[in-house]
């Protein structure tokens, strides 16, 4: 169920690198033990223009999960994702992970027959 959104400076990754990043993030979420790999949805968006304190490119990962999980689970997921990224050869100045709870009452889902 989680929706993982990866935003990265375009200068960091080509299409192949973005795919490898998404796979690493998906595996990290799965290794957290909170979700099965087949439940995880990932997508990436490259951005061309950005600012940062030192002008260096960065990556931000947002994990959107339904509300109701304990805070420790969010920390565990963030750590698992970050540990998977160590294996990537990426020149990002920093990689951040943010776990955001979606309101369970307002979440809807449609699956065609």
Q: How far is CA 22 from the centre of its chain?
A: 8
Say how far apart CA 29 and CA 59 lie, in whole Å. 17
- 3-104 CATH: 3.30.429.10
pLDDT of residue 90: 82
pLDDT of residue 87: 77
Each residue's pLDDT tens digit, 70-101: 778 889 999 999 999 887 878 889 999 999 98
pLDDT of residue 16: 92
pLDDT of residue 1: 82
Those residues of the chain that have pLDDT short of 70 are none
């Amino acid at each position: 169920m989680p929706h993982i959104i990866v935003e990265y400076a375009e200068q960091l990754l080509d299409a192949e690198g973005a795919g490898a990043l998404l796979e690493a993030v998906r595996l990290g979420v799965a290794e957290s033990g909170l979700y099965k790999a087949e439940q995880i949805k990932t997508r990436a968006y490259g951005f061309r223009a950005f600012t940062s304190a030192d002008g260096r490119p960065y990556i931000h990962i947002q994990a959107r999960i339904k509300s109701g999980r304990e805070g420790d689970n969010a920390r565990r997921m963030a750590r698992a994702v970050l540990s998977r990224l160590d294996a990537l050869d990426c020149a990002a100045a920093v990689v951040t992970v943010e776990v955001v709870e979606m309101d369970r009452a307002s979440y809807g889902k449609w699956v065609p027959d």
